[in-house]
Each structure stands twice: as structure tokens, then as C-alpha cells.
Structure 1
């Protein structure tokens, strides 16, 4: 039986930025989630079949300092607004996946406030990890996420924390969500996830759950925790870095690693997200957006498009307070208000997502190298008896590449050359050209 996730393409957005919510908590409920509803048709027309939402739960600032996992952030709305989003998304074929921040909580999390008031020996203190000393302000010191005092690490060995996270995940799945992104999953002990997800799976066997993992033992984390997938940061980095450096050998190394992961799970793949510099800003030549996207949408895994990348938005992440603002901008009221220069990139996304939807086997496709130099490559993307060819030319000159078994050009632009009337053997690409070829109908 085909699972919905096997053919999913996510449109990933950061809600607080998308709807232009203020950067700090509001007491009054503001019904801004409807702004996302107004963009659902835009996502569908692009080809998306899922919405991957950043944090939507009550927090003090950016959403990752959660203070109540059972409450929609008042800056976004309330339960009714969430229910409306689900009810509008589902008929359009859009599954909604939520962002769960369960490694840490914000300083205003009520149980932390109680623990700080009553001391590390109180009942509430068992939810957190205390360091047995006082900080510079004379307050009991606690473990934090990567040194951020406002992000307080939970005690994942506590039965209360295990029960709480399990209850949160089941609650929103019961309410209509289709899955979870587990923020900072790499920082949480693997047995914690195994315990929590075993219970969640009993109640929601079809839920899609993946973990944010930047580097490390991808395969081991999947096996030990029970997540369906992890974020493929290795491939993200290799795509833009290899293109910028004109060193496709780096990309080939990452693709071989990716093939190994595909033996065990389908990674969550991307060329942009809410934590990294925009692809259009990262690449030294925007012509190469097409090269990156052709790879993303023909390799195995579950591809994700970060909202705005489909319009070639620019934005650089900076390591400072407010350094994420440029990559998490507000969107206009309607798609019609977008700048005109972004629509060619949107149409490119439509073309390549459409190709992927017509070849649903690509979610498990392995790459096989056919031709490789520093600046040109041909790969066969294969699964069973199915195959497509992806050809890239990073050179400033025209090039002719081998294309054994290649047939019609399905995307991009190329001239297919044939040694025999019925068999293509090479493809001519313009400078900085690319193409995806279907198999020859005669092979």
C-alpha cells in the first residue's frame, strides 16, 4: 500500500514570520493563521502535497521557546483558527506537519517558573536538569540548549516529561495534524524518542515523524529512535557547495552516502529552510538554482521547498540577535502581490515538481554515476526498472555529455544526439545548462 508520505512534496513555512506577527508574545488573540489559508491554493498549484509548519504553539519570542504546547500562539490565533487551517488544507490534498520543540522550553514555561521560585527540590524541578550551582544572578543554574539561557533543557529521563510530550504529540494528531518535525532531535537521548514514539505510533500509525539532525549517525538515529527520517544536511551542503566551487566530486560523494541512507529510510531533503541562508543568496550564480532544484526533485527522499525559495527570495542568515529576520520574512496578503521577477523560478518549481509527481517512484530512487568531471555530470536516477537521466553543465561553454539510454527531454533544455535512429547516446547542453531525460522508448 502506498503511504501518503511516499509521494509528498512539502511547502515549508515559518508561520510567525509569514503572517508578520510581532517578535514578542501578545496577550490578546490575533487571528493571523487565516493568512496562511489564503496561500493554500498557491502551494497546491506549485505542486505541494504537504505543509510543513514552523512553531505554532504559545511562546515568548521566536516560537522555539515554547511556554504552552497545548495552546496555539495568540499571535497566530486559537484552536478554531488551527481547525480551519486543517479543514481548508485537507480537501486540497495538503497534509499538515507540525514543529515540535521538545528538547527545551522557554523561560516562561510555568513549571520552570515554579521550580525557580520553589527551588531544585520541589516537584516541578524534576522536569529540568539542574547543574548544582547558582548563576551570576544567584539563581539555580540549569542546562540549556547550546548555551542559550532562554532555552531550558528538559529532563528527558523524567516520566512526567515522557508522558507530557507523548500527550502533546497525540493531542495535535488527534486534532488533524499528519505528523511532526522534532526540533533539535539530535540533542535528545535516543531512548526518550523510542519510548514516546512507540506510544504515538500505537495511536497514529500513519503519522510522519522526522527529526532535525544536522550531522552524525543518520542511520543509527533512525534505527534507535523510531523516527521515519532525519533532515539531510549533508546533501544540502554538498549541493550548493559543489555548485559554487565547481567541484561535482563533492556532490558525488554525498550522493553515494545518500544512496546508503536510502537503503534504510527516505531522508527529508531540502535546498533551503528557516535556519539557513536562502539558496538564491547562497549560490554565486542564480542560474544554478535550476541545477540545485533538478537534483532535489529527482533524488530519493522527501523533498521540501522553503516558502519564498520558489520565488528566488534572497536572505542571509547572520549569527547575531535578529539574524534570522532576513530569511523569515512576512509574505504579502496574496500571491498576486509578489514581485514579478520571482515567477519564472516558481514555474521552474512547477515543472520539476510535476515531473516528480508523474514519476512517483523517485522517492526511493538511487543515483548512479554515468559521467563526472569537476563541472559536468550525468547521473541515472533509478528504482527497479524505472530510470531518468539528470545532466548538469557548470561550464561557461557548451558541452556534450554521454546519455546512454536517454530519450525525450522532460525538463530543462538540451539537444539529444543519436548514433542510431532509435538510441540516444549523448546530450548537448548550453553553457550552465541542465536537463532531465526520460528513458529511450526503444531500449
Structure 2
């Protein structure tokens, strides 16, 4: 495939999403044990799983209590009921992993390693890919940064979350691209100018605008230039099916707390060679094969970078969330999200400016960031909370350069910091939540 073909495809918003989905769908679905074979493709639709806290009541400034409208999924998603059940089941036999001979230790070890296989299948990874459990996406990206071959240069866009923007010791930073095709072209040109090992780092879905990035095209040009690609899938994984092998991605990172498993675990999934050759991310028990006058580190990349007692319950929770989403099927999840996102965007009043890098028609997940004319972002968020029982995020969303670029002078005029408000949608979001937010924004604008 020529670079011109890739650029033409990437410049068409609908083609970006459709091409990525087509590549992913063409690959055999890796299905965790106990999940129907057709579930991971969305062929068998199930009801959306329940979330813990869906009946939460919150106080308002006038003394009333109302059901909480949680529109802050992009920051941290609530726990799924199947995840809570999986953790409760594991707790009575909780014990150390890998180093105990007792029944509880062996059972916990089996559950922990099964979680690793489940996460690998959920990511659509290659059979030999490593799955290293981390704390979150930030931890996973920093782990990868520690494992880069000496002299590696990283190419990264300024539109990235800080977790993907900041860890690299040697980086070429690119301006936010004007189009998907420009993203592919800029990455291609930057990689072509670099000698030695190189890595392209990019998000799959923006945590600021929700827009989907052309990761299939970016993976292609990265490999054409002899580079690898690492994808921040923190926002993508809860909303769309991952397909590491089908899209030929080298690494993906994502967080349990954004994937309805808020128990402090995340994962770095990808090729094992760089991980197996690097110094351990942490030095301690479990990462070693032998300690004498010299230390012999484990050659297994997962053990090598999981020193100490790992977050076993976090891994079990993460796997349970992966299984629940896979069993539900992606079709109902995506339909639910797209319907509510369209309802929200269509209801935004005059005076509310939605942030976007590539225009209103580009495919996106359920993330809508905006400013309200004449009202600082923090003020809007506080009004939504105290007067309407709505939870949103305000600020720069750990993507300061990107938000400043999107807002320009408006950010300084609004509140002097370049801040915005972000509403984000998930499995527990309802039409009433969306309608309440729309009505509240109309009220605020009228003030």
C-alpha cells in the first residue's frame, strides 16, 4: 500500500473509522474462557451490564437530593456489577501469587495468570505478546519508556495526554495536525528523518475531544519507516474493540479505572523483546532468577517488570471488566454511546462552543468538551454539580498543550487558564442524564 493511498484514506473521516473497524473485524476474535465465541464481535447482543452506584443520590444547594448524573467517565468510570462480584469471589481465598504452595496461593496465582490471558485476548493481541500489569496507563507508558533500546527517538504529537507526552527521554514533538491525513504525513516525515531506533506514540481516541485517530494508517507508516508504534488506548478501550494483532500495533496501554474496574490496575500489552532486554522497571522479589554476588534477572518480560507483590485484585477486576464488555458485545455498547452523544451535541445551546480538532463530523467516542461564553469552566462545573446533581470534569484534562491550542485566545478570555468543561458518556449514562445537562446549559447561558 502506497503512502498516498494511506494519506487519502486518512483524510476521509468516515474511512478512518471504517477502515480500522474492517481490519479489526477481519481478524479472528480472541475470546476469553467462558465467553460465547461470537460475543467479542458483537454478533450476540446482551443487555448493558449494571454499574455500581447507579442509584446514588447527591445533595443540591437547595437541600434537595437527586439521582447523580455521572458524566465524568473519561476521568474514572464506575465499577461494573460483574467486576464487584469477581472481586468478592476472589477475596475469601486471596493470597500471595507465584511463590506459595498452599491452596489459597495456588488458586490466587491461577486467577491472576488467567486474568493475564483474558486481558491479552481482550486486546486482540498476538499469542506471544507480553501483558505486564501496571497501575494505570501513565505507569504503563513510563514502563515502556524505561524499556526503549538505547538511543531510541520517540515521535509524539502535542495533542497527547501527558501520560503519552512526557515520559520519553528523547522525543520529537509535533504540532496538533490539521487533519487525519496530516497526522499520517507529519508522522511519516518525522520518522523518515530519524536514524536509529524509533517509536511513534499516539492516542487511539483523544481524551479531550473524543476524536478517533487513524491508528491503522499510522501503524503502517511507522513500520514502513522501520519504527514501532505505541498506542494510548485509555479512552479507546472502554468504547471500542481493541485489535492489536489485526492492526499490527506494537504496544497498547490502558487503565482499569477507565474500563469499569477501579481497583488500581492497568496493562501494557505488546511485543516482548524490548521488555525482556531492558533493566527491570522495579528491582525486587519476583523479578530475579538468582541473587548472589551478581543478580540474574528473569528473562520473562512479565515477571521481570512485576517485582514485589502485584495488585492481584486489580488484575482480577480488570479481567472481569474485559470479560463483561466482551460478553455484552461491542454493537450495543457503541450504539448506546453514539445515540447519547448525538443527543448531547444536538442539544448544546448557542453560546456553548464544542472543542474539536478535525471538525464536527469526525468519528469519536462519547467525549464532549466545551466552553460556555462568559462563564469560567470551574464555575460551570460547580453550578452543574451543586444545582443539578451533574458530575463533569473541568480544566485542561492532563493535556495542557492541546487544550491551549484548541482554545487559543478564548481560553484566556474565559478564565485566564485555558480551561474547558468535559462531559463524558459510558455504560451507565441515560437519556435523562443527557437531557438534564442540556437543560442546565440552557439555563446557564440564559443567566
| Fold match by TM threshold 0.5 | no
Higher helix share: 2
More relative contact order, 1 or 2 (CA 8 Å, 6+ apart) = 2
Structure number with larger C-alpha Rg: 1
Higher strand share: 1
TM-score range, shorter chain: under 0.3
TM-score, length-scaled by structure 2: 0.24
TM-score, length-scaled by structure 1: 0.24
